[in-house]
Amino acid sequence: MQLENRVAFVTGAGSGIGAAGAKALAFEGAHVVVTDRDRAAAEAVAEAIVQEGCRAEPRTLDVRDDTALRSAIADSFEQHGRLDILHSHAGIQIEGKLEDVEVEHMDASWALNVRSHFVAAQAALPAMRANGAGSVIITASNSAIQYDREMIAYCTTKHAILAMTRQMAADYAPENIRFNALCPGFIDTPFNRGFEIQMGGRHKLEDYIANAIPMGRFGTVEEIADSIVFLASDRSSFMTGHALVIDGGECI
């Protein structure tokens, strides 16, 4: 197993990509701290991992609470004596162009899509420094490397998190603490609701997928989970500051 005896902390792990990634990390040997603001969802994911004979624990966490986020990461390090992997995944998708998005909606996007990742990475740094290594994976989007029509809050914050990830990668590469951005395209999860609204319904999104994406389909959470394991493991040991785009060729 690629991640035997390592400890991983995952935010937004109660469903979708976060849940699939948490399971994949555990199945490769990591002890996974499964966090989500929905306690029942976190418990269900952790229980599914344990039922497979792997190690996980659930924790209720709203990453918009800086104090709670810092405490959860510090407590995990204190309990397990190490923190090898942080997958900072929680985010939000708000649709609309400049005239449609209220300032408070832009603030909400910034809080989840940028600030929470900053706080989580900052909190994980002492533990990873104590280990002499670490892998921080931050979920961005292929929207971080292109521009989506009428998605100003989402696109702006995803570009920002990619820039921040690269800055952290440059700063901490000498300490063998790696920072990479996970950049999925359209994965078939409820997170696409903002794009469905913006495009005019599920059928319009499906038409877009069929015609605009070279592979002509949604990606699966399992395909993204494989990339999470890669970024977490020593197989990507010489990779930092990278935007790993998995989008069926949409950004080509």
* Domain map (residue ranges) of the chain: 7-246
Task: Choose among 250, 245, 154, 252: nearest CA to 210.
Answer: 250
d(Cα 212, Cα 206) in Å, to the nearest integer? 10
How many angstroms separate the CA atoms of 20 and 221, rounded? 6
Residue-averaged pLDDT of the chain: 94
The mean pLDDT of 116-120, rounded to a whole number, is 98
**Higher per-residue confidence, 12 vs 149:** 12
- Minimum mean pLDDT among 70-74, 95-99, 228-232: which range? 95-99
**What's the pLDDT at 9?**
98
Compute the average pLDDT of residues 65-77.
98
- Contact between residue 34 and residue 22 where contact means Cβ atoms under 8 Å apart: yes
User: Considering the chain, what percentage of its residues have pLDDT values greater than 90?
Assistant: 83
Instruction: Write out the catalytic residue numbers.
Output: 154
SS3 38: coil
pLDDT at 95: 87
- Please give the Cα distance from 197 to 211 (Å, whole number): 18
Please state which CATH number belongs to domain 7-246.
3.40.50.720
- Cα separation, 174 vs 185, whole angstroms: 31
